[in-house]
Amino acid sequence: MTSPPAPGPASPPGSLPTTSHWGAYSVRPGTGARGGPGGAPHGDLGIRPHPADPSPSPLLRNIDGALRHPTRVRRPAVRRGWLEHGPGPTDRRGREPFVEIGWDEALDLTAAELARVRDEHGPTAVFGGSYGWASAGRFHHAQSQLHRFLAQFGGYTASRNSYSLGASLVLLPHLVGAAGAQAVLRAASSWPTLVAHTELIVAFGGIPAKNVHVTPGGVTRHRTPGHLDALAAAGTRVALISPLRADLPEGLDTDWHAIVPATDTALMLGLAHTLLTENLHDRAFLDRCTTGFDTFAHYLDGRADGTPRSAEWAAAICGLDASRIRTLARRMAASRTLVTVTWSLQRIQHGEQPVWAALALAAMLGQIGLPGGGFGHGYGSMGDVGDHGPQLRLPYLPQGPNPVGEFIPCARIADLLLHPGGTYEYDGETRTYPDIRLVHWAGGNPFHHHQDLGRLRRAFGRPDTVIVHEPHWTATARHADIVLPATTTLEREDLGGGRRDTHLIAMHRAVDPVGEARDDHAILAGLAGRLGFGERFTEGRTPRAWLEHLYGSWREELRADGTDVPEFEDFWTAGDYELPSERADFTLFEDFRRDPVRHPLDTPSGRIEITSGPVAALGLADCPGHPVWLEPDEWTGGPAAGRHPLLLIANQPATRLHSQFDVGALSLDAKVAGREAVQLHPADAAARAIRDGDVVRIFNDRGAVLAGAVLTDGVRPGVLRLPTGAWFDPVPQQDPREPPLCAHGNPNTLTADVPTSRLTQGCTGQHALVEVERYTGDPPPVTVRRPPPLLDGATVPRHRHRHRPTVHPHPDRPETP
Tell me the catalytic residues.
131, 133
Instruction: Provide the minimum distance between the beta carbon of 517 and ligand PGD in the complex, in angstroms, as a whole number.
Output: 9
3-state secondary structure 284-302: HHHHHHEECHHHHHHHHHC
Instruction: Provide the minimum distance between the beta carbon of 652 and ligand PGD in the complex, in angstroms, as a whole number.
Output: 6
Which position among 123, 249, 383, 443 is part of the footprint of ligand PGD (CB under 6 A)? 443
CB closer to ligand PGD out of 667 and 748:
748
CB closer to ligand PGD out of 86 and 376:
376
Nearby residues of 773 by Cβ (< 8 Å), 6 or more positions away: 688, 690, 696, 697, 699
Which position among 24, 185, 394, 486 is part of the footprint of ligand PGD (CB under 6 A)? 486
Tell whether residue 657 is a contact of ligand PGD (CB under 6 A): yes
Least Cα distance to 682 among 705, 649, 716, 654 occurs for: 716
Q: Which of residues 738-767 bind ligand PGD (CB under 6 A)?
A: 747-748, 751, 763, 765-766
Site string for ligand PGD, 681-720 (x = CB under 6 A): ----------------------------------------
What is the spatial distance between Cα 450 and Cα 347, in angstroms, rounded to a whole number?
Answer: 12
Instruction: Provide the minimum distance between the beta carbon of 340 and ligand PGD in the complex, in angstroms, as a whole number.
Output: 17
Instruction: Provide the minimum distance between the beta carbon of 77 and ligand PGD in the complex, in angstroms, as a whole number.
Output: 14
Tell whether residue 142 is a contact of ligand PGD (CB under 6 A): yes
Q: Apex CA 383: angle with CA 382 and CA 388, to 5°?
A: 110
Least Cα distance to 139 among 550, 558, 504, 557 occurs for: 550
Instruction: Provide the minimum distance between the beta carbon of 145 and ligand PGD in the complex, in angstroms, as a whole number.
Output: 8
- Strands 695-700, 482-485: pairing is unpaired
Tell whether residue 132 is a contact of ligand PGD (CB under 6 A): yes
Which position among 651, 700, 760, 761 is part of the footprint of ligand PGD (CB under 6 A)? 651
Least Cα distance to 449 among 785, 71, 765 occurs for: 765
What is the spatial distance between Cα 238 and Cα 231, in angstroms, rounded to a whole number?
Answer: 10
Which position among 650, 665, 672, 770 is part of the footprint of ligand PGD (CB under 6 A)? 650
- Burial (CB count <10 Å: 0-12, 13-18, 19+), residue 108: middle
Tell whether residue 724 is a contact of ligand PGD (CB under 6 A): yes
Tell whether residue 168 is a contact of ligand PGD (CB under 6 A): no
Count the site residues for ligand PGD by CB under 6 A: 38
Q: Which of residues 30-69 bind ligand PGD (CB under 6 A)?
A: none
Q: Apex CA 726: angle with CA 722 and CA 732, to 5°?
A: 110
Which position among 24, 134, 439, 709 is part of the footprint of ligand PGD (CB under 6 A)? 134
Which position among 74, 469, 555, 593 is part of the footprint of ligand PGD (CB under 6 A)? 469
Which position among 47, 241, 370, 442 is part of the footprint of ligand PGD (CB under 6 A)? 442
What is the spatial distance between Cα 655 and Cα 59, in angstroms, rounded to a whole number?
Answer: 6
Nearby residues of 722 by Cβ (< 8 Å), 6 or more positions away: 648, 649, 650, 676, 677, 678, 679, 698, 705, 707, 745, 747
SS3 state of residue 184: helix
CB closer to ligand PGD out of 347 and 437:
347
CB closer to ligand PGD out of 15 and 659:
659
Site string for ligand PGD, 171-200 (x = CB under 6 A): ------------------------------
Residue least distant from ligand PGD (Cβ): 765
Instruction: Provide the minimum distance between the beta carbon of 764 and ligand PGD in the complex, in angstroms, as a whole number.
Output: 8
Tell whether residue 520 is a contact of ligand PGD (CB under 6 A): yes
Using the rule CB under 6 A, give the single segment among 550-558, 609-617, 649-657, 694-702 that binds ligand PGD.
649-657
Instruction: Provide the minimum distance between the beta carbon of 283 and ligand PGD in the complex, in angstroms, as a whole number.
Output: 38
Tell whether residue 627 is a contact of ligand PGD (CB under 6 A): no
Using the rule CB under 6 A, give the single segment among 153-161, 288-296, 464-472, 565-573 that binds ligand PGD.
464-472
Which position among 25, 82, 98, 133 is part of the footprint of ligand PGD (CB under 6 A)? 133
Tell whether residue 291 is a contact of ligand PGD (CB under 6 A): no
Contact 654, 57 (CB under 8 A): no
SS3 state of residue 90: coil
Contact 595, 582 (CB under 8 A): no
**DSSP classification of residue 231:** H
Tell whether residue 448 is a contact of ligand PGD (CB under 6 A): yes
Contact 779, 695 (CB under 8 A): yes
Beta-carbon-side half-sphere exposure of residue 54 (alpha carbons within 13 Å): 9
Contact 403, 154 (CB under 8 A): yes
Using the rule CB under 6 A, give the single segment among 112-120, 333-341, 438-446, 572-580 that binds ligand PGD.
438-446
Task: Report the Cα 673 to chain-centroid distance in Å.
Answer: 27
**DSSP classification of residue 167:** H
Which position among 193, 659, 679, 749 is part of the footprint of ligand PGD (CB under 6 A)? 659
Contact 125, 438 (CB under 8 A): yes
What is the spatial distance between Cα 220 and Cα 503, in angstroms, rounded to a whole number?
Answer: 6
What is the spatial distance between Cα 141 and Cα 130, in angstroms, rounded to a whole number?
Answer: 12
CB closer to ligand PGD out of 59 and 300:
59
Tell whether residue 354 is a contact of ligand PGD (CB under 6 A): no
CB closer to ligand PGD out of 611 and 652:
652
Instruction: Provide the minimum distance between the beta carbon of 489 and ligand PGD in the complex, in angstroms, as a whole number.
Output: 7
Tell whether residue 445 is a contact of ligand PGD (CB under 6 A): yes
**DSSP classification of residue 671:** -
Instruction: Provide the minimum distance between the beta carbon of 251 and ligand PGD in the complex, in angstroms, as a whole number.
Output: 26
Tell whether residue 727 is a contact of ligand PGD (CB under 6 A): no
CB closer to ligand PGD out of 89 and 132:
132
Which position among 174, 472, 521, 716 is part of the footprint of ligand PGD (CB under 6 A)? 472
- Burial (CB count <10 Å: 0-12, 13-18, 19+), residue 13: exposed
Tell whether residue 658 is a contact of ligand PGD (CB under 6 A): yes
Instruction: Provide the minimum distance between the beta carbon of 101 and ligand PGD in the complex, in angstroms, as a whole number.
Output: 18
**Hey, what's the torsion of the CAs at 594, 597, 602, 605, to 10 degrees?**
120
Nearby residues of 388 by Cβ (< 8 Å), 6 or more positions away: 187, 190, 191, 192, 193, 583, 584, 585, 586
Task: Report the Cα 293 to chain-centroid distance in Å.
Answer: 33
Tell whether residue 495 is a contact of ligand PGD (CB under 6 A): no
Tell whether residue 164 is a contact of ligand PGD (CB under 6 A): yes
Conformation bin of residue 689: beta by default, left when phi > 0, alpha when psi is -120 to 50: left
Instruction: Provide the minimum distance between the beta carbon of 656 and ligand PGD in the complex, in angstroms, as a whole number.
Output: 8
Instruction: Provide the minimum distance between the beta carbon of 498 and ligand PGD in the complex, in angstroms, as a whole number.
Output: 15
Tell whether residue 456 is a contact of ligand PGD (CB under 6 A): no
CB closer to ligand PGD out of 88 and 94:
94
Site string for ligand PGD, 498-517 (x = CB under 6 A): --------------------
Tell whether residue 474 is a contact of ligand PGD (CB under 6 A): yes
Q: At what angle do helices 264-277 and 322-334 cross, to 10 degrees?
A: 60
Nearby residues of 201 by Cβ (< 8 Å), 6 or more positions away: 194, 207, 231, 236, 237, 238, 239, 337, 338, 340
Tell whether residue 208 is a contact of ligand PGD (CB under 6 A): no
Q: How far is CA 571 from CA 49, 551, 563, 591, in A?
A: 19, 10, 15, 39
Contact positions vs ligand PGD (CB under 6 A): 132-135, 140, 142, 163-164, 344, 347, 442-445, 448-449, 469-472, 474, 486, 488, 520, 650-652, 657-660, 724, 747-748, 751, 763, 765-766
